[in-house]
Amino acid sequence: MSEQETRHQVSRLLRIAAIGEGTTLLLLVFVGVPLKHGFGIAEVTRWLGPLHGLAFLTYIWAVINELALRDQPRGWAGKAVLFSFLPGGTFWYFRRSITSGR
């Protein structure tokens, strides 16, 4: 496998991890938490919370991996992590960084 193919797989991994992290955070914030606190249904957060935790850790690992393999600037990684704390932030950040070439 060539170096360029390896880099492409890492980028794809990062995109998949960003989608997973962003989706689980949106579900947790806008579905799980209202169900738990508004309707007393805590079961959703019991399985969605750990699922989001796993997605978040995978995303952080993918960002670090991307930083190491693609030689991204450190500011890029900091922004990628910062936007992961905002619901929908990973979607916005990666859409912006892909269209601007960064």
Q: Where are the domains of the chain?
A: 3-100
d(CA 99, CA 75): 18
Residue-wise pLDDT tens digits, 6-24: 444 457 888 899 999 999 9
| Residue listed under structure tokens 């995109």 | 15
pLDDT band at 100 (very low <50, low <70, confident <90, very high): low
| Residue listed under structure tokens 């992961």 | 84
User: What pLDDT does residue 101 have?
Assistant: 52
What is the reported pTM? 0.82
User: What pLDDT does residue 20 have?
Assistant: 95
What single string gives the DSSP state of each residue in 59-88? HHHHHHHHHHHHT--HHHHHHHHHHTTSTT
> ∠ CA 40-41-44 to the nearest 5 degrees?
145
Q: What is the average pLDDT across 53-59?
A: 96
**Contact call for residues 75 and 6 (beta carbons, < 8 A):** no
Predicted confidence (pLDDT) at residue 43 exceeds the cutoff of 70: yes
User: What pLDDT does residue 10 have?
Assistant: 53
**Contact call for residues 70 and 7 (beta carbons, < 8 A):** yes
